[in-house]
A and B are shown apart, each in its own frame.
Chain A
Amino acid sequence: MSLTAEPSRIAQPARAILPTRGLGDRISALFWRHPNVLLITLLALPLVWLVVVYLGSLAALLLQSFYSIDEFSGQIRREFTLSTYGELLQPANLDIIIRTVAMSAAVTLGAVVIAFPIAYFAARYAKGHWKALFYLGVMLPLWSSYLVKVYAWKLILAREGIITWATDGIGASAVLNGILALPVIGGNSLSTSYIGTWLVFLYVWLPYMILPMQAALERVPQSMLEASADLGASCWQTLRTVIFPLALPGIIAGSIFTFSLTMGDYIIPQIVGSSRRFIGQAVYQLQGTAGNIPLAAAFAVVPIVIMLIYLTIARRKGAFDAL
């Protein structure tokens, strides 16, 4: 015992020169010598989240879509098959997919048309208070509840709502009735037609189009516009050949939002519209009440595939160059 105690007493004076190396020091030394350890430590939690929770659930979803439901007993057969995907091609299911994609495209186009002038004004002309007002105006709807907005729109579009009242007041009810009489997109009233669903989608997702578009337009150099004018281009030519191509990445970035958000939404078409199903609603109904999880999963894969194609095209067009 005394022998072992001896060296430690001798070693003690050394500590006066170098401070004691505590746990923190040693860990920091480890990180210094092996930077990768630091990286892994920092990333471990987010990575577990991303891989296990996020990608894991996606993989489980994908796996489910290759199962099928037994026609006779209604139980899920856990064998690999493509028959569930085959079911997607049945007319009723194909209708749902086409309906959803068409609506997403229409909403995106509408958003581009409406958002462009607003974003252009904000990027080029708005200064000071006006700029603040612009941001407030665009962001304000995002701060209120999504459901409140949708229910409010249901009232606005109702048959006995403010739009009908206003068109009656100015004697334009024939125009409104004419629009509602249109095949497919028309209906009994605005709130039970595709037009109504489209309007509400457009309203709810518009900020997601305006903001990236405005960011892109702000990056268009003033000098290029001046050069274009010096070379004798008309306003229209400048817009078409200079501004639009330069702002295209922003437009595509915005369209990714409007397109994918419309594809996944299942609440708006339930509240405003003719009850014809969209993909989100079909998934909700098939997995929840029917227990047909394979078909629900196959439906859920459709927007993923469409968005992957969409993103590939967007990348080619340079939508992510600014990232």
Chain B
Amino acid sequence: MRHLKLMGTTALAALIGITPALAQVAELGTPEGKLNIVAWPGYIERGETVADFDWVTKFEEATGCMVQVKTANTSDEMVALMNEGGFDLVTASGDASLRLVAGERVQPINLSLVPSWDTVDDRLKNAPWYVVDGVHYGVPYQWGPNVLMYNTEVFGDSPPTSWNVVFEEMDLPDGKTNKGRVQAYDGPIHIADAAQYLMFHKPELGITSPYELNADQYKEALDLLRVQRTLTARYWHDAFIQMDDFRNEGMAASGTWPFQVNLLQADGVPVASVIPQEGATGWADTTMMHVNAENTTCAYLWIEHTLSSNLQADLSVWFGANPVVPAACTDGRGMQTAEGCTKNGFDDFERIRFWTTPVTKCESQGECVPYYRWVSDYIGVIGGR
């Protein structure tokens, strides 16, 4: 979730040429008795927050590998921790993962040592955010879309079908304008959401990826966001502040994560979410192994555990995310159900454009606007420029 929150990265990340394949583990030894993981908060739960959500204890009992978790709040922190060393695994997001590969901080994974690899979603098996030159630098961990949340009392029987409710001024089904009643994400990556909207509504711009924009496409996206600024009372930055705004500020619609939707619904707030016709942006995380990992056997056992245990199902419930093993939605290994997966966007994979770092040298059109410009320009847009 938080990957998008502060997706730290430099354009440097993807500019650096990709490294040669490093040595990988050939066979497993005896478990080392411990395992150190860098993870997003809430990603590795041992029943201490809520007793039902525990996907560590059984692993420790079965393998004798005691799991130590170091949480990191931003991708920057994750990369920094991995650079320092002393960790075996990291749950890296789309922005951090390629940086880690480029910086030679992670090692290729020997998939023959991960028996459950075959159960991984085919749609993720060769995803570009962790597979470089055909080499797998990790194993998918979890993914999710950025959905459009709306207030069901405002929209009534006609839920929104397009992102236009947050991009263009209009009257909502309750007869009042959307001005001051919509929100948008506070991070510069939100420019990609605008670009995706333009991809659908202005095909003549020729946008092929919302993360690869040339100067003209970029300008159009910013213009759209300037309109959005006039509609937006406050941009959301912290998930809990956004939830508070839907409770107390009369918010009608906003892009958000399934996490907030689930929590608000559990609290009885009249909200629901859709993935509109234009599609949505999203995030996908990968378990990666440090190049100097000390506890490789435990690490491989953990990777196998992430795919084969209740982890995929329960984590997806806990986080409002999607399992990378499709069977976890239905086979009852955890709390997740087919309806739950559908709600979290599992069937909408094709309509989701996963987050990657905008870089200058882009695949689709040679030269694109890099991420650091996204940051300074988005500050300007929010400031009313």
Contacts and interface: CB of A to CB of B under 8 A. Distances in A.
Contacts of A252: none
A187 B232 CA distance: 10
A119 B72 CA distance: 45
Contact of A159 (B241, B250, B370, B384): B250
Contacts of A292: 372, 375-376
Interface string B172-212: 00000000110000111000000000000000000000000
Interface residues of A, number: 38
Contacts of A154: 241, 244
A38 interface: no
Interface in B208-237: 232-235, 237
B375 A160 contact: no
B74 A288 contact: yes
Contacts of A290: 10, 188, 371-372, 374-376
Interface stretch (B1-9, B114-122, B271-279): B1-9
B15 interface: yes
B249 A282 contact: no
A237 B377 CA distance: 53
Interface in A236-290: 270-271, 273-277, 282, 285-286, 288-290
B371 A72 contact: no
Contact of A276 (B6, B237, B382): B382
A92 interface: yes
Nearest to A95: B383
B358 to A, nearest CB: 10
B244 A273 contact: no
B11 interface: yes
A161 B15 CA distance: 49
Contacts of B237: 270, 275
Contact of A92 (B12, B74, B370, B380): B380
Contacts of A137: none
B76 interface: yes
A208 B192 CA distance: 43
A99 B188 CA distance: 21
Interface string A159-184: 11100000000000000000000000
29 contacts: A73-B370, A74-B10, A74-B370, A74-B372, A75-B12, A92-B380, A95-B385, A96-B383, A158-B248, A159-B248, A160-B247, A160-B250, A161-B248, A187-B233, A188-B249, A192-B180, A271-B238, A275-B382, A277-B379, A285-B375, A286-B376, A289-B9, A289-B74, A289-B188, A290-B10, A290-B188, A290-B371, A290-B375, A291-B8
Interface of B: 6-12, 15, 74, 76, 180-181, 186-188, 232-235, 237-238, 241, 244-245, 247-250, 359-360, 370-372, 374-377, 379-380, 382-385
Given A192-B180, A274-B234, A295-B376, 5 more contacts: A160-B250, A188-B180, A191-B234, A288-B76, A291-B10
